[in-house]
Structure 1
Amino acid sequence: MNRLWVRLTLAFALVILVAVGVIALLAGLTAGREFHRYLTYSDIWPNQVLVDVLARYYRFRGDWRGIEIILDQEARLPNPRIGARGGRWAGLLRFVLADAQGRVIYDGAEGQPGRLLRAEERAAAQEIEVDGAVAGYLVTVVVDRPPFLGPLEEIFLSRLQRWLILGALLAGVLGLLLGVVLSRSLTAPLRRLAEAARAVANRDFSRRVQAEGSTEVVQVAQAFNQMTAALEEAERQRRNMVADIAHELRTPLSVLQGNLQAILDDVYPLNKEEIARLYDETRLLGRLVDDLRELALADAGQLRLNLQPLKVAPVVQATVESLSLAAENQGVALSAELPEDLPLVRADPDRLGQVLRNLVVNALQHTPAGGSVVVRAAPTAGAVEISVADTGEGIAPEDLPHVFERFWRADASRSWDKRWAGGTGLGLSVAQSLVEAQGGRIWAESALGRGSTFRFTLPLAGDEAGQAPPAGTTRR
């Protein structure tokens, strides 16, 4: 009994039964009353003698003043001009006289003169014509009509009531059946949604539901499908990330274990050069762990940012200077082109430097000797755009949408020890998270054989101060 379709069925049935019962009751009462009213007027024989008397009166007087005397006298007389289905019977009559516009002039001893004739009175009224024009209307009403009905009237009312009851019962049964069908059809999408939700709870993220039914149910189904698609993609990325992390950790750990085992077996000498190599491997592991922590904090909205009005040029210059020696050793020209009138941005100086270092290191990694890397900055609508352009091998169009994915590499065969400066495969992902956390956006432009350009924006300090969180707070 606690199922939704059962409750809906009972609700439909209750509403239909109440509505049909009320309609049948009102129809029965109204039909009986109107039928009695019909008999009240239909059983009266036309009173042409009185109509002629009233017509002569109006022709003589020119109006209806004083007509009350004649009609009162006529109403007090027993009158045989009343018919009945079973025969004639004598009774008193009440007369209603109206003028040519249908406004009542005389309405019996206790009537309401001045009103308009009712519809049933107009239908039963006799016209009073004077010189070819209607001068008024006469309505004859039975006073205290006997309550009994003739056999035909009794049969008619009995059949009418019986059909009303049967119609009400039939409508109730049909309404109940219709309620069952409607309730089952309304709850069917919800049942399918519940089954799909249980499948998702069992980690079957491929389940989808058909979007059908009412607008609200379709919206719920679409939202559910969007949620499961997002969960499926998140699960795929999680599995890939776990596999990538295991792979990235296994390589330096294998190097450490192999070298240490070789030292223990006296294959490698225990000297500073060998210890330095092992130390470099531990630094790579530390950078990988730091990058993963940065990404985890950004995903959780717990990344600490010291947002403040900031000049971009000093941060760019410091980054270029810190990496100039590495670029020189690689044979790559590293430079910065900055205008003097750059507006202030609202950013974290340390995080901005981290983004620039990651982008420049990535550019140096893919730029051969003799190439160049240029860092530029320029004002744009409501922001400052910073770009890092290289003259490297470029990125294929099909690979460009994936450059910010974690552990993604265009060259899948590139191994750990082939990366420039011991990259972790997370630099671009970290840069994207840091830029977006500061209210900017980042994207890449590239073509094979013509190098790549990574661009990102930071909001202006003046325009965006009201939207950025206070300095030293957590950006969520």
Structure 2
Amino acid sequence: MSLLQWSKRWLITVLILLIYLLGCSLTLSVDRLGHHTEESNLSIHLVRLIINPVMLALEQNHHQLTSPEVQENVRSLAEEQGIQLSYVGLDGTILFSSDPSSQGEHIHLASALHYDLNHAGHANYGEDVVDMAFPVLHASDGIQIGNAIFTIPKAMVTVQPSSTLPYLVAGISIIIALILGILLLTMHRKIHKRLLSPVHILQHHAESILKGQYDKPIHYKHTDEVGELYAMFDLMRTEIKYLSEQRTKQEQAQKELITNISHDIKTPITTVKAYIEAILEGMCADKETLMEYMRIMQTHTDKTAQLVEDLLLHALQELGQISVEPREVYSGPTFEAMLGSFGHAVRLKGLTYETPESVPNVLIRMDTTRLEQVLANLISNALKHTHRGDTIRVHTELRADQFIVTITDTGQGIRAQDMPFVFERYFRGQSSPVSRHVQEGTGLGLSICKNIVEAHGGRISFSSKEGQGTSFQFSLPVC
């Protein structure tokens, strides 16, 4: 059932109940006019107001009722109130009375005591007085010690009915019914205006989002529950818009990645092919020229293999399946061998390559192949940001059960606006006027490094200052 249908049915039901309320009020008024009796107008509140002073004096002085002065005081209070009092013990003996002659007599408690005003009125039906009994309690422990029987003129405790009261009640009931009806109609209008209409508007916004239209803001002018719903819905729209933009950017980046890798792979393959054709055509006159051709082909083949490896790791990273198989090895000989293998490539570029004189020899659980890829990517990244004459320095140390490797270069550094995105996939930075070759590569290397290091339980970070160089650091837990 829709909210609109529910509100209509609710309104009809309440209106029917109001009509019943009005009918019941009129019926009650007519019934009160036709069945009014004198006993029904006796007021227990008036009784209590009249007897309270006498009851107070009796409870305070019950242990001294044998004293003539106390008896006279109580009789005077009863006479002032216009009533008569008989104080009866629990055995039915009259211990004190406004009529001294009745003191000492015995009464039948079951028939003489009337604690209920209506029963007392019926018992004294047709008489001008009513005999009303009240228990007398001990002041200290609250135990009943007797009963006080008051003989009170009915005229003193009878509430005279007003002939206009039933009509007044009926009039008030009609006014209340009208007010409730107006309130219900106002509530129905408010529900439609403040709840149903906003929900319909929100439905249109949801349909727009389903169609991919995320740019239209969602506003609501009231700060109530519906306003909070609108605010959350607009936050959801903003988040969906952001995710859609990110997905579009990622798809575009993937397309660019495929294009770049295709171009990067095509270039070395074309070069290798050209040199193979030259060899086949007999253009190598001597062994030295042949070896030079072979070295060039090897360089381009290594570059192609690295691109294919990056592409494979990227695909595995997308699937969350980069294979890391750590084994316990000693860091000293392992890292010395890995760092030594990069020296020739760095020096070939005309850079100074500094490695640690000794590597801390501790037991580490690591995948040697994957960590060699991390070092290769970080050193290759440093080569892209340096020029002939710069320095690439590798430092190793132990710190708080962590084996830490730091790779520092004195190159061009990273621009401040690029730093938040360094470890994101596909990000390659922007070319600076001084270094136009910074964009070389696929933009996957540092993302892959982060994934591999974290798979080993370590962390990777960097610091850089544009124009002064960059330092990458990663840590591995020691066994």
Map 1:85-124 → 2, pairs under 5 A: 95=130, 97-99=132-134
Q: Deviations over 1:84-139 (max 9, x none)?
A: xxxxxxxxx9x46254989xxxxxxxxxx99xxxxxxxxxxx9969xxxxxxx985
* Residue from 458, 461, 464 that aligns with 2:476: 458
Structure 1 100/17 Cα, relative in aligned 2: closer, same or farther at 3 Å?
A: farther
Map 1:269-418 → 2, pairs under 5 A: 281=300, 284-337=303-356, 344-380=363-399, 383-405=402-424, 406=426, 408-411=428-431
Match of 2:84 in 1: 54
Report the Cα distance in structure 2 between the residues aligned to 1:264 and 1:98, rounded to whole angstroms.
Answer: 132
Aligned residue pairs total 405
Kept in 1, the 8 Å contact 2:326–2:366? The answer is yes
Kept in 1, the 8 Å contact 2:25–2:173? The answer is no
Kindly state the Cα deviation for residue 314 of structure 1 after the two structures are TM-superposed.
3.6
Report the Cα distance in structure 2 between the residues aligned to 1:55 and 1:11, rounded to whole angstroms.
Answer: 65
1:411 is paired with a residue whose SS is coil
Kindly state the Cα deviation for residue 33 of structure 1 after the two structures are TM-superposed.
6.3
Kept in 2, the 8 Å contact 1:407–1:425? The answer is yes
1:453 is paired with a residue whose SS is strand
Match of 2:90 in 1: none
Structure 1 74/415 Cα, relative in aligned 2: closer, same or farther at 3 Å?
A: closer
Q: Deviations over 1:150-209 (max 9, x none)?
A: 975664454455445444433432332222223226525742551343143xxx565665
Report the Cα distance in structure 1 between the residues aligned to 2:330 and 2:22, rounded to whole angstroms.
Answer: 85
Match of 2:66 in 1: none
Report the Cα distance in structure 2 between the residues aligned to 1:407 and 1:215, rounded to whole angstroms.
Answer: 38
In structure 2, what residue type is equivalent to 1:226? E
Kept in 2, the 8 Å contact 1:395–1:410? The answer is no
Structure 1 270/313 Cα, relative in aligned 2: closer, same or farther at 3 Å?
A: same
Kept in 1, the 8 Å contact 2:351–2:392? The answer is yes
Match of 1:187 in 2: 199
Match of 2:456 in 1: 438
Deviates more, 1:9-18 or 1:296-305: 9-18
Greater Cα radius of gyration, structure 1 or 2: 2
Report the Cα distance in structure 1 between the residues aligned to 2:296 and 2:7, rounded to whole angstroms.
Answer: 80
Structure 1 361/263 Cα, relative in aligned 2: closer, same or farther at 3 Å?
A: closer
Kindly state the Cα deviation for residue 214 of structure 1 after the two structures are TM-superposed.
5.2
Structure 1 334/402 Cα, relative in aligned 2: closer, same or farther at 3 Å?
A: same
2:315 is paired with a residue whose SS is helix
Report the Cα distance in structure 1 between the residues aligned to 2:121 and 2:219, rounded to whole angstroms.
Answer: 81
Kindly state the Cα deviation for residue 64 of structure 1 after the two structures are TM-superposed.
12
Report the Cα distance in structure 2 between the residues aligned to 1:359 and 1:64, rounded to whole angstroms.
Answer: 119
Report the Cα distance in structure 1 between the residues aligned to 2:17 and 2:134, rounded to whole angstroms.
Answer: 40
In structure 1, what residue type is equivalent to 2:428? W
Report the Cα distance in structure 2 between the residues aligned to 1:43 and 1:196, rounded to whole angstroms.
Answer: 71
Structure 1 181/63 Cα, relative in aligned 2: closer, same or farther at 3 Å?
A: farther
Match of 1:175 in 2: 187
* Residue from 6, 9, 22 that aligns with 2:4: 9
Say if 2:242 is the partner of 1:229. Answer: yes
In structure 2, what residue type is equivalent to 1:180? H
Structure 1 299/208 Cα, relative in aligned 2: closer, same or farther at 3 Å?
A: farther
Structure 1 275/371 Cα, relative in aligned 2: closer, same or farther at 3 Å?
A: closer
Kept in 1, the 8 Å contact 2:464–2:470? The answer is yes
1:350 is paired with a residue whose SS is helix
Report the Cα distance in structure 2 between the residues aligned to 1:338 and 1:17, rounded to whole angstroms.
Answer: 92
Kindly state the Cα deviation for residue 354 of structure 1 after the two structures are TM-superposed.
1.0
- CA root-mean-square deviation: 5.5
2:255 is paired with a residue whose SS is helix
Could you say which structure has the greater relative contact order, defined with CA pairs below 8 angstroms and 6 or more residues apart?
A: 1
Kept in 1, the 8 Å contact 2:413–2:468? The answer is yes
Map 1:102-251 → 2, pairs under 5 A: 152=164, 155-156=167-168, 158-184=170-196, 187=199, 190-191=202-203, 193-200=205-212, 209=218, 213=226, 215=228, 218-250=231-263
Q: Deviations over 1:36-88 (max 9, x none)?
A: 4996678569999x98463599433689985965989985676497xxxxxxx
Unaligned runs of 5+ in 1: 2-6, 82-92, 103-112, 115-125, 130-136, 143-148, 462-476
Kindly state the Cα deviation for residue 294 of structure 1 after the two structures are TM-superposed.
1.0
1:368 is paired with a residue whose SS is coil
Kindly state the Cα deviation for residue 303 of structure 1 after the two structures are TM-superposed.
1.7
Deviates more, 1:69-78 or 1:321-330: 69-78
Kept in 2, the 8 Å contact 1:209–1:225? The answer is no
Kindly state the Cα deviation for residue 453 of structure 1 after the two structures are TM-superposed.
0.6
Structure-1-length-normalised TM-score = 0.63
Report the Cα distance in structure 2 between the residues aligned to 1:188 and 1:380, rounded to whole angstroms.
Answer: 62
2:323 is paired with a residue whose SS is strand
Report the Cα distance in structure 1 between the residues aligned to 2:204 and 2:398, rounded to whole angstroms.
Answer: 53
Report the Cα distance in structure 2 between the residues aligned to 1:403 and 1:384, rounded to whole angstroms.
Answer: 23
Identical columns (%): 21
1:303 is paired with a residue whose SS is coil
Kept in 1, the 8 Å contact 2:132–2:151? The answer is no
Unaligned runs of 5+ in 2: 51-78, 87-95, 138-143, 285-289
Structure 1 101/348 Cα, relative in aligned 2: closer, same or farther at 3 Å?
A: farther
Report the Cα distance in structure 1 between the residues aligned to 2:283 and 2:374, rounded to whole angstroms.
Answer: 38
Structure-2-length-normalised TM-score = 0.63
In structure 2, what residue type is equivalent to 1:441? R
Structure 1 379/247 Cα, relative in aligned 2: closer, same or farther at 3 Å?
A: same
Kindly state the Cα deviation for residue 359 of structure 1 after the two structures are TM-superposed.
0.8
Kindly state the Cα deviation for residue 236 of structure 1 after the two structures are TM-superposed.
1.7
